[in-house]
Chain A
Amino acid sequence: MKNPRKFIIQKFSEYYRDNANKIPLPTSYKKREFGFILSDKGIMLRHKAFSEPRFFRDFIKLITPSDVYHSAAYYKHPSREMGKKEWIGADLIFDIDFDHISTPCTEEHEYWTCELCDQAGVGKQPSVCSQCGGSKFKMVAWLCETCLETAKSEALKLIEFLVNDFGFPPQDVEVCFSGHRGYHIHVERDEIKQLDQNARKEIVDYVQGTGLKVSLHGLMQVSRKMGQKIIGPDLNDPGWSGKIARGVYDIIVTYNLQQLKEINGINKNIASLIFSQREKILKAWNTGTPWGSIKGVGIKTWEKLVETSVVNQAVSIDTVVTIDIHRLIRMPLTLHGKTGLKVVSIPSKSLERFDPLRDAVAFNEGTLKVYILAAHRFRIGKEIYGPYERETVKLPMAAAIYLLCKRAALLTD
C-alpha cells in the first residue's frame, strides 16, 4: 500500500497552491513570530518573520507545513531567538478544547493506534498489538459531535463574559475553530496588549470562577431584629453576582430530585425539601427574597447550591494558553495536520450557526478509496459515515483525508 503521509502532503500542497493567496495575515504581522510544523519530519520550525504577505504565502507553498501558527505577541525582533526578541505586547487569547472539558461521551470515542505498526482500533487499547506484538499505543482524539457542541457552548459562554463583563466590543472578539477539537478566542485591542501574566491570570480566574467567595457576592446570614436572615444576590445583578443568582435559579427550575441529591454537601432530606418547595422558592424569587425563603434550608445549603451554580456558569479553558504571553496560535484558513480541516475565523455573532464539520471542510472535490482499519461513526458535511472495521471504502475526499490524518485508514493500491 502507498504511503499515506506522502499523499497527505500532496493534498496539503494542492490546497496551499490554490488558497495561499486568500490567507489573511494578522494585524501588525511584521512584529509577529510565525511557526510551522514540517509535514515530513513533524518538527516545529519557529522564529520566522515576514516583511510582506507574499513572502509568507510563497513560503507555505514551498514547504507545505502540516500546521501554521503565529504569535499572539508582538516583538521588536520577531525572528531572533526567544531571549532577544524584545517583547512589546500580546493579544489576549483563550483556548477551549475538549481536553479541558469533561463530556459524558469520552468512552464512546476512544481510539488507539499502535506506535510500531499501522494497526488501529476503536475502544480501549489492547495490551499487545495483534499485528506486531508491540505494547505501546497512542490514544487518538476522535472528532465527536457532542464534544464539539460542548466546546461551542463554552465558547459562547466565554464571549458573553468578554462582551458583558469585560466590555469588549463584539467585533473585537474573534472566534476561530481550531480545525480539530475546539475554539480559540482572540481579543485584539491596544489597551490589553500590555497586560502582564498576573493580570491575565486574574482574567482566567474570573472566567473560570476560581477563588470566588460567595460572601463577597452578598450571600450571607445577617442578624435582624426579627432574628437571623439570609440575604443574597439578585437575578439582575451584574457580573458574577447575577450569574450566581441565575445559576441557582436554573438549578431550582431544572434539576430533578436525583440531581439535587447528588450535589456535593447537600443533605438528602434537604434536597427533598427544596424539591418539594420549588414553586415557593421560585415565587419568592419574583419578590426578590428567595434566599432563606424556606425554613430548614440554611446558609450552608445555599452555599453548596451556589458552588454548583458557579461550576455551571464558569468556562473551562486551557489556563496555560491565556497566561503565556509568548504563545503561538493557529492561523485562519491554514490546515490542521490531525484532521485536514481548516482553521476558520467566525464572527462572534455567527458562532451559534457555525457547523465545524461542514464549514471547516477544506477538500471538497473528488473521492478516494481507502482501506479503513477501524473508525467510529463520524460526520463530514451532511453525510454520516461508519462505523467501519477492516474494509475498503470509497469516500468523498474530505472524509478520506480525515481518516488518513487520524491514521485510521491506509491508501489502497
Chain B
Amino acid sequence: MLVSKEDFAKYPFIIGAVDYVKRLDLKTDELSQPEFSAIVTRAEARIEEALLDGIIKWESRLGYEIELLSYPVAIIFVSNIADNYLKKRYALAESKRIQALLKEDVDEKLTEIAISIFGWKVKRLPLEIYQPFDFSLSFIDYLRNAPNFHDFRWKLVNKHLINGEVFLQKDEFSRLISEEVRKHIEKTINTSPKVELNPLLLQRIEHIKQRLNIRKERIRIKEQPRNIISAAYPPCIKNFYDYLISGQHISHVGRFTLTSFLLNAGMEIEKLIKLYTPISDFNQRLTRYQVEHIAGVRGSGTKYTPPSCETLKTHRLCPGPDELCSRIKHPLAYYRRKIRMIKK
C-alpha cells in the first residue's frame, strides 16, 4: 500500500523509503556536488523550520525526490551538530509534519504504518456501527504514547476501553502514531553513525549552529532564586510542610515529594534534616541517608525532582487545586510562577 514515491516523501521513516534511499547508495562526499544542492538546501530548510516554526512544511512542489532525500541529509546534519535541544526539536517538528499528513491520508495507510513499522495491534472500525470512532487500538499500544500527552482527554479513564481496545478517532490515532514517529526519529538521530563532512557541508552546518545559538539564547531559562519563599508553595507542599511541622504522619510518597521539592527549591541538606526532627519515628541516620539520596549526593547520583501533579493525584496526595494549579502541571512550576507573581 505504501509504495509510491509520494508516500516515501511524506513518511521517510517507513521501511520502503529507507530501502529506496539505500539503493541509491549516495555518498556524503557527493552531496557537495551541484546536482544535489537542492537536496542540501531543503535539508537545511527543514532544520531551520524546526528551529523557528516548530513544524516542518510538506514541500511537495519541490518534487518528491528532493523532499525524500533531504530527510536523511537533515538527520546527518542534526546528528553531526550533536545538540540535545536541536535533536529533540527536530524530531518533534518532523512528527508534527507527519501528523498533519496522516490526518488527511486514507485510513489504511495509518493502520499500515502502525502495524508494519511499529507492530501495534489496531483495527479499522466499520463506520456506521462505531461512530464517531474510526480505529480500535490495543490499550498496551495506546499507553506507549498517551501518557506523554497532558490533556485530560488522553487519560485512559476518559477513553472508551472495551475488552482491551481503546476506541479512537482519526485525529487521535494520527497523534499517537506521530508521537511514536517522534521517538523513532530521535532514536535514528542518536544512533546515526558519525560521518566526516567536507568543508562545503561544514559551512552549512556552521550556519545552522548560529541559528541554533540565537534560538537557545532567547529561551535560556533564568536561574531559580536560591532563598526559599514559603508563601509560594503550592497547596500540596504547603500541606506536607504543615503536617511535618506539627509532627503528623506523612506517607512515603508525601515525604519524598516534600524533600525533593525543598531540595530543588534550594534548601540545604542540613536544614532539611533538622526540619524532620519533630516526626515521631525520626531517625537521624536514616533521614540523612534518605535526604542525601534524593539530593543525589549518594547512590546513583541522580538528583530527584518531585512527582508531577498528575502522579500526586494518582496517589491521592493532591489536596485539590487552587486557581494557579489549573495552569501548571508540576509543583515546581507552580513555585516558580508564584514567585514571579509575588515579585511583581
Min CB–CB distance B251 → chain A (angstroms): 9
The answer to whether B157 and A240 touch across the interface, beta carbons within 8 angstroms, is yes
- Cα A320 to Cα B253 in complex, Å, equals 8
**Beta-carbon contact of A201 and B147 below 8 Å:** yes
Write out the residue numbers on chain B whose beta carbons fall within 8 Å of the beta carbon of A208: 314
Is the beta-carbon distance between A165 and B147 smaller than 8 angstroms? no
Q: B157 to chain A: closest CB distance in Å? A: 5
Closest to B159 in A: A239
Q: Let me know if A203 and B160 touch, CB within 8 A.
A: no
User: What separation, in Å, do the CA atoms of A8 and B314 have in the docked complex?
Assistant: 39
Give the residue name and chain of the B residue nearest to A167 (CB).
Answer: B164
Tell me if B165 is interfacial: C-beta within 8 Å of chain A.
yes
A189-221 vs B: 1/0 string, CB under 8 Å? 001100100110111111011111100110000
**Which residues of the partner chain B approach A238 to less than 8 Å between Cβ atoms?**
160-162
A323 at interface by CB-CB < 8 Å: yes
B314 near A164: Cβ-Cβ < 8 Å: no
Contacts of B162 in A (CB 8 A): 164-165, 167, 238-239
Task: Give the complex CA separation of A238 and B146 in angstroms.
Answer: 20
In the complex, are the beta carbons of B314 and A205 less than 8 A apart?
yes
- In the complex, whether B224 has a CB less than 8 A from a CB of chain A is no
Q: Is A319 an interface residue (CB 8 A)?
A: yes
Given A168-B164, A239-B161, A192-B152 contact (CB < 8 Å): no
Instruction: Verify A167–B165 contact, CB threshold 8 A.
Output: yes
Please name all residues of chain B whose beta carbon is closer than 8 Å to the beta carbon of A167 when the two chains form the complex: 139, 162-165
Q: Which of A83, A210, A241, A319 meets B160, CB within 8 Å?
A: A241
A166 within 8 A of B: yes
Residue in A closest to B139 when the chains form the complex, CB atoms: A166
Interface string of B159-175 (1 = CB under 8 A from A): 11111110000000000
Q: Tell whether, in the assembled complex, residue A211 and residue B155 are in contact, meaning their CB atoms are under 8 Å apart.
A: yes
Question: Which A residues from 56 to 71 make CB contacts under 8 A with B?
Answer: none
Segment 277-311 of B: residues with Cβ below 8 Å from A: 300, 310-311
Q: Is B311 a contact of A166 with CB atoms below 8 Å?
A: no
- Chain A residue at smallest Cβ distance from B166: A239
Chain B 131-173, CB within 8 Å of chain A: the 1/0 string?
Answer: 0000000111001101110001101111111111100000000
Bound CA–CA A209/B316 (angstroms):
12
Are B158 and A166 in contact (CB-based, < 8 A)? no
Instruction: Report B-chain residues with C-beta under 8 Å of the C-beta of A166.
Output: 139, 161, 164
Instruction: Indicate which residue in B143, B164, B315 contacts A199 across the interface (CB closer than 8 Å).
Output: B143
User: Is B313's beta carbon under 8 Å from chain A?
Assistant: yes
Closest 10 CB pairs of A and B: A167-B164, A199-B143, A198-B147, A167-B163, A216-B158, A238-B162, A202-B156, A239-B161, A206-B157, A206-B156
Binding site for A on B (CB under 8 A): 138-140, 143-144, 146-148, 152-153, 155-165, 252-253, 300, 310-311, 313-316
Given A168-B164, A216-B152, 10 other A-B residues pairs in contact with their CB atoms under 8 A: A166-B164, A191-B138, A195-B140, A198-B143, A198-B148, A211-B152, A212-B155, A216-B158, A240-B158, A319-B314
- A-B contact list, 29 entries, CB within 8 Å: A83-B300, A166-B164, A167-B139, A167-B164, A191-B138, A192-B140, A195-B140, A198-B147, A199-B144, A202-B143, A202-B146, A202-B147, A202-B156, A202-B157, A204-B314, A205-B313, A205-B314, A206-B156, A206-B157, A208-B314, A210-B157, A211-B155, A211-B310, A211-B313, A212-B155, A212-B157, A238-B162, A240-B157, A319-B316
